[in-house]
Structure formats: C-alpha cells, structure tokens
Structure 1
Amino acid sequence: MDQEKVLLIVSLMLCFLRLSSAANYNVMQFGAKGDGVTDDTMAFERAWQEVCNDVGPSSRLTIPMPNTFLVGPITFQGPCKSPLIHIQILGTIIAPQNPSSWNGCETGAWLLFYKVNGLFIDGGGTINGRGDAWWTKSSTYITEESKCTIPPTALHFESCNGLRLTKLKHRNSPRNHIGLNRCSYSTLSYLDIAAPADSPNTDGIDISLSTQVRVHHSIIRTGDDCIALSNGSSQINITGIYCGPGHGISIGSLGMNGQYNTVEGVKVRKCQFSGTTNGARIKTWQGGSGYARDITFEKIFLHNVNNPIIIDQHYCPHNYNCPKESSAVKVNDISYKRFVGTSSSRTAINFDCSNNVACSGILLDHINITSSVKGEDPTVYCNNAYGTTSFSSPTASCLLN
C-alpha cells in the first residue's frame, strides 16, 4: 500500500474518531420549536455560539428530523475553536415565505457561513429557500423592513477552507442555491438541487476565488446554470453531474464592465446534460481582460441540448447595452473529448470568439453529436477560433490552424 493511501486511511480514521467523540448540540435544546411556523432563528444562533466555542477536537450541531425549522437570514460566524465542525441536517430548514418579512439579509445570503474551517455538513435533510415569491418580483426587489436589494443566495460559504458538503436536498432558492467564495480544498458531493426551469438566476452551485474544489455525483435541475465557475476559480474537478433542466455547466461570465478575470485548471468529466439550453459553455463579455485556460470537458452525454458546445465571447443577456469593444478575455487550451448525444439546435458547436483576441488551442476529439430534429444535420460555427479536430462529427472544418 503506497504512502498516499496510508495517509488517507489514517486521516479518515482520525476524522471518524473525532466525529464519534464530538460534543453534540441539538437546536431543540436551545429553544427551537421545529413546527415550521415559529421563528427559530434565535435558537439556531444560540446553538451555533455553543458549537463554535466548543474547545474539543470536534463539535456537532444537530437539526433533527422530522421537524421543520423556520429560520430567517443568519450568519454562522467563525473562526471556531474546534478544528472540526459537524452540522447534521436531518430535518428541514425553510426560509420566510414572504420577502417583506426578511430581516438582516444585507449579506446577500440566507444561510451564511463565514470563516469556518473544517466544516462538515451532511445528514440527508432539506434546505428550502421558498423562492417562488422572489421570482415574481423584480431582481431589485426591496422593502424597508428587509433591505434586501437582491434575492439572496440560499447557502453561501465565505472563506471556509476544508469544507465538505454532502447528502443534502436543496430546493427553490430565491437566487443561487449554493455559493463558494474564497474556499479552498473543498468537496461538494451527492447533492440534490432543484428549482423550476423558469425560476430566474437559480444557479445550482456558484464558485469564485476558490481553488482545489471538487464537485461530484450530484443531480442539479434549476432555472439557470447547474454549475458556474466565476473569477478566480482554479483547479476545479467536476465529475458525475446530471444537469437538466438548466443552462449547463458554465465558465463565466467573465470580464463584465472591463474587469480582469481568470479561470484555469478545470476538468469536467462524466457529466450528463438533458434538455438544457447549454452543455459545455464558456461565456465572456466584450471589453474585459484576463484568461480562461487549461479547461477540459470529457466523456459528456447530451440529450436534446440546445448548445452542446459553445464559446460565447459576445455574451450580452437580452442584447441590452453591450457596445463593441476591442479587448477581450483570452480563451485558450480548451479540450472537448468524447462527447456523444443530440443537439436540439442546428449549430451543435459554436465558437463565437472575440474578433480581436482569438481563441486558441481548441481540441475536438471523438465528438459524435447528431440532431434531435429528424432529417437535420448539425453544423459548426467558428469566428476567429484556432484548433485541431480528430474523429469529430459534425466536422469542424472552420477551425483555423
């Protein structure tokens, strides 16, 4: 047995020992009613203070089943004294149903974890943002009571290194379901994320300014990107994701308002897209700078996807107020390997690169995309795109050498 496996086994054993000996705090002990009607925010805050201040090798916060806990916007503030914090969500956490009753969501999040390292959240329970009331309002919905300038992200992690989030259900977030910002060495797995196909801006997972992040074996069905990798994302490994409905797995958008943005070292493997508007997507605004590079999409299955493979460097939602610009985010070293399935649009592969900053190092290898429309043959579009192809159907003869 090699040294790396030995270290992994030892690490898992130590983790198990810590969890088994953890001090356990149950929110019911701190006054939570768990009836789905009473506001349990204060009980959660009191329970968190005890958990975070526990000086043992690990501490556990339990949200029991079959209870339903109504909780308003709350910040779980770190750093904590214990090196391992375990939150076991067995029951259901629900948000206030009426946006006008929300208080304290100036952070832009409903459930915010800030500077909590060694955080482990699991349990099989449900986090329900009850976002339908937000979706019918303007994106700048605001009330004097709540001071919520935008619909909040349901579950957000800020500067939480070593995060492990697994085996939970996430439903109907007002906005993004899960957000990671400045979180390194984190793993998200076995998640079930769902919102209606027409719910606006309900991304499944948003990652930014984070490195060494792994997302795997999850089902994501939303009204926006299943996974979005924004500025500062690097060394991201995404495996075994079922996406649909939704807008696919997206790099970006990058370069908005002339910003310098970067994404690199991304691997997306063994993922399935069904009925999505996009599959493997890179999107950048005109006028930005920076780069999106060293990105691989491999072993991808497509079913009735509108844009199976797309690089859109003229990204402009609703085609509103997007003047032509000379600068652009540099897109290079992008690989698409072993794609199979169907496209619902005529243009199955679309490389709409900047007119001034070419896409380079594109690789198409073993691509087999057919049309889901009977009698139609899919095509490839290229604009200022350089790369190579092998065993690709449709043939990308428009790629420049």
Structure 2
Amino acid sequence: MLWILSVQFLIQNVTNVDGGRHHNRIKKQKSEISPELAPADSPGEPPAVPADSPLTQPGNISSTSCIFNVSDYGAIGDGETDDTEAFKAAWKEACRVENGVVLVPSDQVFLITSTIFSGPCEPGLILQVDGMLMPPDGPDSWPESDSTKQWLVFYNLDGFTFTGAGTIEGNGQKWWDLPCKPHKGPNGKTLPGPCYSPALIRFFMSSNLVVTGLRIQNSPQFHVKFDGCQGVLIDSVSISSPKLSPNTDGIHIENTKSVGIYNSVIGNGDDCISIGPGCSDVEIEAVTCGPSHGISIGSLGVHNSHACVSNISVRNVFIKDSDNGLRIKTWQGGTGSVTGITFENIQMENVRNSVIIDQYYCLTKACRNETSAVYLSDVAYRNIKGTYDVRSPPIHFACSDTIACTNITMSEVELLPYEGVLVDDPFCWNAYGLQETLTIPPIDCLQEGMPQSLEESSLLGC
C-alpha cells in the first residue's frame, strides 16, 4: 500500500495544469550520471528521484496491486512466437481495475507487432517490463496490415506508468540498412521510394505519465515520442543506438507541456533530445548525451508553419562526441517564437557546433530566402565549458535577415579545441545580446542593445 501511495503521489505531482513547475515538487538529491560518460568535474547538483522511491525499484510490485502477468494470457516469451494477443488481453483486464499492473516477466523475450494500448483506464495503471520486449525483425518481417510509422502507441491515458528493469529492443538494423537511408545510398544519397521506419514508443494525447528504469535501444526511428501530452516525468532511463543510425532521436516531444527529464543516459544517431513546436515548461537535468546530435529545439517553422516554444531549461548536462551541442534550428518562412530558454552548467567533450542558432535550417540546397521567421528572444548560456571539434566554429548565431535574435546572454562560456588549434572565430548574424563575462573564444560579433525594429506579426498566437 505504501508503494502504491508513493507512485500515486508522484503521478499526481507530474503536472500542474495551472502552469506550475510540477517537477520541482519531487524531492531531489545528487544524481548518478554514468561513470563511463561523466566528466571528472561534472557541474552542479542535479535533481534525482529519492533512492528509496518505488520508481527507483521497478522490480518491486506491491502485494495490493492487481497483477496481470502476460504469461497467464498465453504469451510464450521465446522471441519468435507472436505474443500480441496475450498482451492485449492482459492490458484489457488491467485497464478495468484500479492499480492494475501488466507484468512482463524477466528472463523471457516477447515479440509483439504494432499495437495501440488505449484508455481511458482506471487510475494507477502500470506496464512493468522486466524481461525483453521487441517488434518483428525488420521491414520484411513487418505485417503488411500494420503501420510502419509506429510500434507501441499509448493513447488517451491519464496517470499511466511505464517502468521495469527490462529492455525494449527495437531491432532497428534492417530499417537503417534500407537503401533510402542517406548513409546507405550511393555516395550517401537517398534513393527514391517509400522510406517509413517506425518510431518505437509513442505517447499520444495522454497526461500524467511516468517513464522510468527502462533500457530502450536500437529503434528503427525515434526511440520515445510524446505528442499532445501534458505532465510527463522521465527518470533513470537508458537509450542507445549506434552513432550512424539515422533519425533515431532519443526523446522527442511536440505539442507537449510540463515535462521533466532527469538522470538519464542517451547515445544515438540523431538528437539526444528534440523539442518540437507547441512545447512549454520543459526541464532537462542530469542527462548524459553522446554520441548524438545534441539537445535541439526544432526544427521549427517548416512549410511556413507557426511554432511556439517557451520556458525550456537545460541544466547539469554532459554532451560528448556529438555533431551538435546546444542547438536551436528554424526554417525560413515560419512564424511564432522561441522564448525563455536557459542552458546552464553544461560540460562538453569533443562537440562540433557546440552552441548554435540556425535560422536558415534546410535539408537541401533548394531552400529560398524568406522574409518571415520564428522570433528568438531571451536565450541564456551560462557556465558552458569543455572542448569542441575544430571543424566548425564553437559558437554560431545565424539569425534571420529580417527578424533579429534578441536578449542572448553569455556568461562563463569557455570552449577550447579538443585537438589542434582554433580555425574559425565565433560567427554572428543579426544577433543581439549581452556578455556578462568574457567568452572563450571571444564573441565580439554579438551586438549590444536591441535592433531598431522587429516584425511583431511573427509573435501572434504565442
């Protein structure tokens, strides 16, 4: 009963519909960043779920919970038999009762096909994976009737916990090897034809979600995706895929509010964490990224769309061996705004494009110049230190020709070459802000004050 009350307390505090910072209510202590990836002087005292919390002990189930073991519903767990129907049956029964637990037992491998686990369900529903769960092995094994855009979908749930001591194995290799993937086509070119690859885990139109303790690996595309959700707590999760696996973002959020991502280790072939349009009140702390494409806001404004992102904090993070570090990327022609962004206490090691704002983001050479843009303002970089890959300038602020970036704050930014010597100085274009301290390398191109005019129409709707 104590375990159930503790989980319910955490879930109830995952979100504050009135806009409060839900995750600050969770008791915090020094985090445990992976000793294999953490630098000797990892900055700050990042938050953590208490060590005695049930969320840090996913193998324990309260005796008062209603447990629905998938094996009791016919799941074989041999890694070859399709166990989908057994999972659906267990879910259906657990959904009907309060504090239901769908249990995936340890020491077994369960194969299931693309499935939507939907609600509404009774409060306190838990999916606990202690064994291994995986999809069919590659596109040739994928049932023709199943969606090739997603595998596990959790829809219309409130107060749901996805946890366990087990592994979610994505079997992504054969998807990455498709000739339509850029790194597999002739001379690195994408070949024509359908090129869908499923996101591994998607949460859609749900609230008060907890994801903790799991190892998620080798996704065909995005590992974990949140779309249209409110109140999300991610803690102590490991996400991994090879450095060259395409489009394998670790955690992607869009149209999602009140998110806390803590104490996790992510290494993959794309963005470690990506934040899309419609996101606000996001807190990222004590996360280790690498290899990856760093932590990205965007891309935003594609196809002249309206995008709004606000109140994002990234603190006490270690980024290693990545193509990008802290990145904000927008397409020309978009509208909306990105405001209230804080990057603080960030340690980097051998990171290319360590600090970058790119308002000319484009995947081809055919993009035309546009007059409208997503407006960027109130972006702070504080205590950003470490080493960078000298193939690119460590600081790059390329803002729109017509709508300047404003209120950029630089403080205690010290970035040194990982190998060799500095090749290029920092780059700025139409970027305005303040240097609270001297920056290494010096960023003399950042303009003081404010531009004479701004395109106010770009702010409408945010």
Fold similarity call, TM over 0.5: yes
Match of 2:159 among 118, 121, 139: 118
Partner in structure 2 of residue 98 of structure 1: 138
Match of 1:350 among 370, 380, 396: 396
Please show how residues 252-263 of structure 1 align to structure 2 within 5 Å.
252-263=298-309
Contact 1:19/1:59, CA 8 A, preserved across alignment: no
Contact 2:8/2:124, CA 8 A, preserved across alignment: no
Contact 1:330/1:358, CA 8 A, preserved across alignment: yes
Contact 1:117/1:163, CA 8 A, preserved across alignment: yes
Matched, 1:174 2:207: no
Partner in structure 1 of residue 91 of structure 2: 48
Question: What amino acid is the match of 2:226?
Answer: L
TM (normalized to structure 1)? 0.91
SS of 2:208's partner is coil
SS of 1:49's partner is helix
Question: What amino acid is the match of 2:167?
Answer: T
Structure 2 CA distance, aligned partners of 1:101 and 1:320? 36
Structure 2 CA distance, aligned partners of 1:386 and 1:285? 20
Structure 1 CA distance, aligned partners of 2:388 and 2:181? 31
Contact 1:201/1:223, CA 8 A, preserved across alignment: yes
C-alpha deviation, 1:390, in angstroms: 2.3
Matched, 1:223 2:269: yes
C-alpha deviation, 1:8, in angstroms: 8.6
Change (3 A) 1:20 1:269: farther
Count of residues paired in the alignment: 384
Change (3 A) 1:308 1:388: same
Give 5+ residue unaligned stretches, structure 2: 13-52, 55-60, 183-193, 449-462
Please show how residues 156-305 of structure 1 align to structure 2 within 5 Å.
156-305=202-351
How much is the aligned-residue C-alpha RMSD, in angstroms? 2.2
Contact 2:148/2:197, CA 8 A, preserved across alignment: no
Structure 2 CA distance, aligned partners of 1:334 and 1:277? 21
Query: Which structure is richer in relative contact order (CA contacts within 8 A, separation 6 or more)?
Result: 2
SS of 1:257's partner is helix
Question: What amino acid is the match of 1:85?
Answer: L
Partner in structure 2 of residue 330 of structure 1: 375
C-alpha deviation, 1:320, in angstroms: 3.5
C-alpha deviation, 1:109, in angstroms: 1.3
Structure 1 CA distance, aligned partners of 2:418 and 2:165? 37
Please show how residues 383-394 of structure 1 align to structure 2 within 5 Å.
383-391=429-437, 392-394=439-441
Question: What amino acid is the match of 1:176?
Answer: F
Change (3 A) 1:8 1:27: closer
More strand by share: 1
Change (3 A) 1:360 1:161: same
Structure 1 CA distance, aligned partners of 2:246 and 2:228? 25
Contact 1:34/1:69, CA 8 A, preserved across alignment: yes
C-alpha deviation, 1:215, in angstroms: 0.3
Matched, 1:26 2:64: no
C-alpha deviation, 1:139, in angstroms: 5.8
Contact 2:11/2:210, CA 8 A, preserved across alignment: no
Structure 2 CA distance, aligned partners of 1:105 and 1:13? 32
Deviates more, 1:163-172 or 1:103-112: 103-112
Structure 2 CA distance, aligned partners of 1:164 and 1:20? 21
Structure 2 CA distance, aligned partners of 1:272 and 1:36? 36
Question: What amino acid is the match of 1:96?
Answer: P
Change (3 A) 1:67 1:19: same
Which string of whole-angstrom CA distances, capped at 9 and with x for unpartnered residues, describes residues 260-287 of structure 1?
0111100000001101011110000011
Structure 2 CA distance, aligned partners of 1:331 and 1:229? 15
Which string of whole-angstrom CA distances, capped at 9 and with x for unpartnered residues, describes residues 132-174 of structure 1?
111111269xxxxxxx861111011001211000010011101
Deviates more, 1:166-175 or 1:131-140: 131-140
Give 5+ residue unaligned stretches, structure 1: 1-6, 141-147
Change (3 A) 1:13 1:166: closer
Change (3 A) 1:97 1:10: closer
Deviates more, 1:128-137 or 1:265-274: 128-137
Match of 1:38 among 75, 78, 81: 81
Partner in structure 1 of residue 385 of structure 2: 340
Which string of whole-angstrom CA distances, capped at 9 and with x for unpartnered residues, describes residues 64-91 of structure 1?
01000011101101111x1110111100
Structure 1 CA distance, aligned partners of 2:312 and 2:11? 30
Contact 1:371/1:377, CA 8 A, preserved across alignment: no
Match of 2:119 among 59, 78, 92: 78
Which string of whole-angstrom CA distances, capped at 9 and with x for unpartnered residues, describes residues 86-133 of structure 1?
111100001100313323443721000001111111111100110111
Structure 2 CA distance, aligned partners of 1:276 and 1:230? 20
Structure 2 CA distance, aligned partners of 1:338 and 1:41? 49
SS of 1:253's partner is strand
Partner in structure 2 of residue 4 of structure 1: none
Change (3 A) 1:212 1:20: farther
C-alpha deviation, 1:374, in angstroms: 2.7
Which string of whole-angstrom CA distances, capped at 9 and with x for unpartnered residues, describes residues 29-62 of structure 1?
00000000101111111111111122x3x11010
Change (3 A) 1:85 1:139: farther
Structure 2 CA distance, aligned partners of 1:259 and 1:107? 26
